[in-house]
Chains A and B, each alone.
Chain A
């Protein structure tokens, strides 16, 4: 909303150009670089040579990488579903609660989000570890310790825990836009709480749900820290693959190929989210 249509062009250019240039140099060029690198050949002595090849991409079709890929996508999906399960009620509660309660609730949602993922995962290590909370209770009952960490379940728990705020925030924004009178109208016409959710809230908060799912999924499939800490060597995901190949085995062209694919996947998801957000904003204005 401008105060008046601007005709003096210099003003906006001066304001917007610095960041635009900065991003081109420090965001766009690096990403172009990895795409280019993904077509170079690996060299054991100089890490890479500028000979163009598609070997890196072709090489991704092998069984071990595909297993890792399948596992990553699968874990991402399960984490997303868990986030929906826990996130929907929380989003509804915050959207409909009194202002004071909603502010406090938001605080306790955003605070964990902003604290480093490392620290949050640390907490789960203590809970699920060999000498941790759960095993402490189990041994106190005289039972055998359980290996709760370093498996896929632990990774999923960690991912869901870290990313659930990504689900709640867009969902909450979507639900807030639903006129509460619609829920009351449904109740007045005989709907139980579940029927009201299914017939009124769910369809009308779908954009927020999709945004949330895409954000969580996107983050989950590119996660590195959580799977590394909670899953160890047994649960390899794509993020780990990239890290290893970049910093340990120096397979840079290969890592670039993987990274490029992941960028394409997540950017596509992001476009869908943005398009959804813009559509729901336009629908609001039209209503």
Chain B
């Protein structure tokens, strides 16, 4: 049923969205411009910044060899650890369950630069040099809560009677879970994976502290260029990131409809 709303609400909401999305739209527009300054609106269109981006080996490295790979690995490990933890939290009753859940989800509430600082100092003390692995280990901590949230929401929404039916037909507890529950929460795990990927892919705060010279992620590279006023190939790189993130979120939202977000 269409609910009535106050008259001024929709225009104000539209304004809010414009303010929210304008920066992104502008970055995309600048990336297609021809001028070496960040010109908006661009007077002539050109793909030269994209060619510049793909022609710059450091950029390409940051994008493909670091950020993308890191994202997949972080998401994979976070999904494994997180999904298992979620199943344990939802399906079993034990003392301290709520506290454990809060502990697992805590990284969501800890500002990333503080975590970055802590990891940086710990690595330094142990003599561990910054590398992709050291960053990966940090990303897993930050990404796991997203997987846990998603999978928990999916499990909670599952009718326990389905597995009971399976057991009445002869399946053991574990078999019932694997054959009935797991396929049904598949979409929760996948959407958790995708969110974990995005978090790692877009992360700047952790990477600033822990990424080394060989493991500069794309956001860090963009950040440095912005500080030192690089050319608009920065905009091209940013647009690619916007595209990838947008596509992935669209995928999750319209195909998997996750129930929990924050």
Contact = CB atoms under 8 A, between A and B. Distances in A.
A15 B88 CA distance: 5
B187 interface: no
Given A19-B81, A132-B40, A229 B226 contact: yes
Contacts, number: 264
B111 A266 contact: yes
A225 B22 contact: no
Contacts of A129: 38
A59 interface: no
Given A19-B144, A122-B226, A98 B113 contact: no
Interface string B113-125: 1110111111011
Contact of A98 (B2, B12, B27, B85): B2
Contacts of A37: 121
Interface stretch (A62-70, A106-114, A140-148): A106-114
Q: How large is the interface on B (under 10, 10 to 19, 20 to 34, 35 or more residues)?
A: 35 or more
A3 B85 contact: no
Contacts of B117: 34, 242, 246, 255-256, 259
Interface residues of A, number: 95
A222 B111 CA distance: 6
B249 interface: yes
Interface in B128-185: 137-138, 140-141, 144, 156, 160, 163-164
Contact of A33 (B5, B109, B122, B222): B122
B241 A119 contact: yes
Interface string A84-112: 00100110110010100001011111111
Contacts of A27: 106-107, 115, 141
Given A108-B20, A126-B30, A118 B222 contact: yes
Interface of A: 1-3, 5-6, 9, 11-16, 18-20, 22-23, 26-27, 29-31, 33-34, 37, 86, 89-90, 92-93, 96, 98, 103, 105-112, 114-127, 129, 131-133, 136, 161, 164, 166, 169-170, 180, 193-194, 215, 218-219, 222-225, 228-229, 239, 242-243, 246-247, 252, 255-256, 259, 262-263, 266-267, 269-270, 273-274, 278
